[in-house]
Amino acid sequence: MLIAPGQRLINSHKPATDFGTVGGPVRNAAGKLVMLTCYHCVFMDKMKWDEFTPNPIYAGVSIAQNGVFNEAAAVERCFRDDDVDAAMIHAQPGNTIDPSIPIFGKTNGLIALSDDDRGTWLRKYGATTQDTYGQFLGFTPMLGFRYETETSIHYLHNLIRIGTPTGKPFSEKGDSGSFVLNGANQVAGIIVMGDGTYSYAIQATLLESRLTLQFQI
């Protein structure tokens, strides 16, 4: 099976309705091509995470192809703190990774957005809303959400806020994990949450440092 950005993905032990998006390709610490998505997209409360290295029994990830989920990948490493919620998944034997994002093509490293970049046009390809375009509106200091079965709220800091001039959402439920790109296909971040008006993404620079990965493929 070909694992491509924009496909629906889910922890194999979770209901198929609670899916996220295969974000895009990155290189792990060993230089191997893996896919990046959000931690909460592959999170499973029974995973018994040990320092974010998943229990192999619950690390299986199913990818949707033609509306049918098949286990084709596994969580390799994940990370969650005050800034980051992300996981790297690798292809299981017999499956391959397609690094090209539909419509946009291959990524071209990362871009560190700053306040000076407000107004920059961004785009993403997600499993729910496919290709959408929006503008970088600034950084959101702190927003949070509850993980499945958890009662406390996990807050993330310094999120990229994206809005659209039309008011149509840049991302919706299920788009989490999608790569947010600028016009030069540089990765600005990955979608982590949204509220119908704005979408929020984790900064690519933070992902690179926390997960020891490279966006330059």
- Using the rule CB under 8 A, give the single segment among 29-37, 88-96, 105-113, 142-150 that binds another protein: 142-150
Contact status, residue 42 vs residue 9, Cβ threshold 8 Å: yes
Least CB distance from residue 27 to another protein, whole Å? 26
Report the residue number, 108 or 145, with the smaller CB distance to another protein: 145
Token pair, residue 153, equals 């709220």
How far is 7 from 3, CA to CA, in rounded Å?
7
Give the footprint of another protein on residues 169-198 (CB under 8 A): 172-173, 176, 192-196
Contact map string, positions 64 to 103, toward another protein, x by CB under 8 A:
----------------------------------------
Size of the site for another protein (CB under 8 A): 23
| Contact residue for another protein among 161, 189, 201, 215 (CB under 8 A) | 161
How far is 137 from 120, CA to CA, in rounded Å?
8
* 13 binding another protein? (CB under 8 A): no
Contact status, residue 127 vs residue 20, Cβ threshold 8 Å: yes
How far is 211 from 109, CA to CA, in rounded Å?
15
Output the DSSP codes for 113-154.
--GGGTT-EEEEEETTTEEEEEEEEEEEEEEEEEPTT--SEE
Contact status, residue 157 vs residue 214, Cβ threshold 8 Å: no
Contact map string, positions 102 to 141, toward another protein, x by CB under 8 A:
-------------xx-x-------------------x-xx
Q: Report the interface residues with another protein, using CB under 8 A.
A: 38, 40, 115-116, 118, 138, 140-145, 153, 155, 161, 172-173, 176, 192-196
